[in-house]
Amino acid sequence: MQFLALAVLFIIRFSANARPSTPVQEDDIILIPEQMEFFEGIAATRVVKSWSEYYWKKSTLVYSFREELSSWDKARIESAMLEISSQTCVRFRRTENQREPQVLIQRKGLGCWSNVGYLGRSDQALNLARGCMSSGTIQHELLHSLGFYHAQNDPQRDSYVKILTENIKSGHEHNFKKLWVHGITDFGLGYDYDSIMHYESFAFSKNGKPTIVPLRKDVKIGQATQMSPKDVETLKRMYC
Mind telling me the catalytic residues?
Answer: 141
Burial of 225 (0-12, 13-18, 19+ CB in 10 A): exposed
Q: Which of 113, 168, 174 is nearest to 145 (CA)?
A: 113
Residue pair 127/41 in contact by the 8 Å Cβ criterion: no
Residue pair 84/235 in contact by the 8 Å Cβ criterion: yes
How far is residue 117's CA from residue 7's CA, in Å, rounded to a whole number?
11
Which string of DSSP letters, residue by residue, matches 73-124? Answer: HHHHHHHHHHHHHTTSS-EEEE---TTS--EEEE--SS-EEEE-S--S-S-E
